[in-house]
Structure 1
């Protein structure tokens, strides 16, 4: 099922639509022998259920089961004019976020960036810390060939 998490959103919707439509045809054929239901109603009902089923069940299940595959499939991603998220990694409950910075000067102050973003970072990381999914998050910024980094753990979010 990991291959499904690597697919684009429209491909996931298309697969769910095909499966639900196919099930609608199958149930329509079975039901037609017992109940006078037009064969076309159940496949259309299956197709109509594609969006809610995909958004409420399939995508959350994929995100929970394969968080890294799901998170990395749309990368690299521009965060703002100067920052691009390149990759997310998870090793031994340590998340690492890798960014490229496109700045004109060589100035970058990792502690200042951490303090400015800590509230937002904690909002997204705290559930991972509480559940035990993550014990630490590393933020690695690359600027003109040099790496700058900082880390956030649960004690930062108290």
Structure 2
């Protein structure tokens, strides 16, 4: 079987379901600030980064961590990818809203990275991630890179979107 069902339905499955419902709520009820052409790309990026990490660092030869409480690829490992889109979306949403520059932008990045580490630590306590050698402090530089790449993609997409709309008007 390709996808296994959890052996028991416990706190990590509940955490994943609650986080996915939270993500759905974000996209249904938040005021739309990000252009509709850009939102799906930010969502896909927010799903892609964890998948790349999980399928490179979470498997042999590294196997630094497992998703959920099993080393098998479970149904809830797939559902977990529905928990990630709000991370990237909220990051660029508030980035756009606050329009930060300079030191405030650096502080924004550091705040998000620290929040991410604390949230990951919570997910470790709830057995969504089970470390097999990974240390929480490894995650800080990973989040800084992910946030930087998300920022660069967002800035590129905003620039491109503006220029596409101005070229259509001409």
TM-score (norm 1): 0.31
Q: Which has the higher contact order (CA 8 A, sep 6+)?
A: 2
Q: Which has the larger radius of gyration?
A: 1
Identify the structure with the greater strand proportion: 1
TM-score (norm 2): 0.29
Identify the structure with the greater helix proportion: 2
